[in-house]
Amino acid sequence: MSGNIELLNTALAGTKAEGRAALIAYLPAGFPSVDGGIDAVKAAFEGGADIVEVGLPYSDPVLDGPVIQTADDIALKNGLKIADVMRTVREAHEATGKPVLVMTYWNPIDRYGVERFTAELAEAGGAGCILPDLPVQESALWREHAAKHDLATVFVVAPSSKDARLKEITAAGSGFVYAASLMGVTGTRESVGEAAEDLVQRTKATTDLPVCVGLGVSNREQAAEVAQFADGVIVGSAFVKAMLDAPDEAAGVAAVRRLAGELAEGVRAKRS
């Protein structure tokens, strides 16, 4: 069975045709429980997310701030396994027909086996992976197996990336490009960095891939602001925080649905 890279490409072409940015939500698998995590992903789609990144929690998430660290800790303490991540991808995709990616660090995949991981992810209906600590020059093995199984390889670019390097990265990537809005780890911010628009422009100069912006976006206004210049708006910590702040799992899932609805309005704000 092949992965759903085409579904991802079609979804992003669709939002572009609608003249708006895509809403991409991030939620860790296994948080607050495996089933609760699946419900949260479905709720994000129901609220209006176009694409969801399912996090595979890792013991040493050096690019994540305290909110996602806390969720990862909860998932891992509950004994989360990669099989649970695959089930999350499968059930979320089958229930909605929407593209679901996995976001994680490189060691869990390296240890699990690249072929085994990509084969299982494709079989579960996954559309691709974002691996923020696997830079392009170390990614050949991953890309070989991802391509074999029709999975997208989404690379992260940062404000510090020079133009020549952007070219190298986007040439190797597929699906879309993840543009980090600022120099920092995941977490909600008061404002989205000014560096984001410049980075999107510099990235677009090197590729036809959609360029989606993540890090720091947490509300409708910020989503609307980013949607002016990006092909997609990625929101993670705000969803996780909504779950963490909720009194119980059902309330958390409802909060995710509500937040996705607000953000979906944001990405549809008229472009000036």
Partner 1 sequence: MPSDNNAFFVPEPQGQVPTPEGYFGKFGGKFIPEALVAAVDEVAVEFEKAKQDPEFARELSELLVNYTGRPSALTEVPRFAQHAGGGRVFLKREDLNHTGSHKINNVLGQALLTKRMGKPKVIAETGAGQHGVATATACALFGLECTIYMGEIDTQRQALNVARMRMLGAEVIAVKSGSRTLKDAVNEAFRAWVANVEDTHYLFGTAAGPHPFPAMVRDFQRIIGVEARRQIQERAGRLPDAAVACVGGGSNAIGLFHAFLDDTDVRLIGAEAGGHGVESGEHAATLTAGDPGILHGSRSYVIQDEEGQIIEPYSISAGLDYPGIGAEHAYLKDSGRAEYLPVTDDEAMQALRLLSQTEGIIPAIESAHALAAALRIGRDLGEDGLMVVNLSGRGDKDMDTAARYFGYYDASENAGESK
Binding residues for partner 1, per CB under 8 A? Answer: 58-63, 65-66, 69, 76, 81-82, 106-112, 132-135, 137-138, 155-162, 165, 169, 180, 183-185
Q: How far apart are CA 143 and CA 151, in angstroms?
A: 9
Q: What is the DSSP letter of 21?
A: P
For the chain, counts of helices (H) and of strands (E): 12, 9
Active-site residue among 39, 50, 53, 91? 53
Considering the complex, state which of residue 67 and residue 264 has its C-beta at the smaller distance from partner 1.
Answer: 67
Task: Give the phi and the psi of residue 224 in degrees, each rounded to 5.
Answer: -65, -40
54 contacts 28 by C-beta, under 8 angstroms: yes
The answer to whether 64 is a known catalytic residue is yes
Residue 159 CB, nearest distance to partner 1 (Å)? 8
Residue 19 CB, nearest distance to partner 1 (Å)? 29
Residue 108 CB, nearest distance to partner 1 (Å)? 4
Q: Which amino acid is at 205?
A: A
Residue 125 CB, nearest distance to partner 1 (Å)? 21
Residue 158 CB, nearest distance to partner 1 (Å)? 4
Considering the complex, state which of residue 116 and residue 271 has its C-beta at the smaller distance from partner 1.
Answer: 116
Work out the widest C-alpha separation in the chain, in whole angstroms.
48
3-state SS class at 103: strand
Considering the complex, state which of residue 13 and residue 183 has its C-beta at the smaller distance from partner 1.
Answer: 183
Active-site residue among 39, 64, 72, 225? 64
Number of neighbouring beta carbons within 10 Å of residue 217? 29
The answer to whether 53 is a known catalytic residue is yes
Among residues 48, 71, 121, which one has the least CA distance to residue 249?
A: 71
Residue 201 CB, nearest distance to partner 1 (Å)? 17
Considering the complex, state which of residue 132 and residue 261 has its C-beta at the smaller distance from partner 1.
Answer: 132
3-state SS class at 11: helix
Q: How far apart are CA 32 and CA 254, in angstroms?
A: 14
Considering the complex, state which of residue 112 and residue 271 has its C-beta at the smaller distance from partner 1.
Answer: 112
Among residues 180, 174, 120, 101, which one has the least CA distance to residue 143?
A: 174
263 contacts 23 by C-beta, under 8 angstroms: yes
Considering the complex, state which of residue 101 and residue 130 has its C-beta at the smaller distance from partner 1.
Answer: 130
- H/E element, 234: strand 232-235
159 contacts 193 by C-beta, under 8 angstroms: yes
Q: Report the catalytic residues.
A: 53, 64
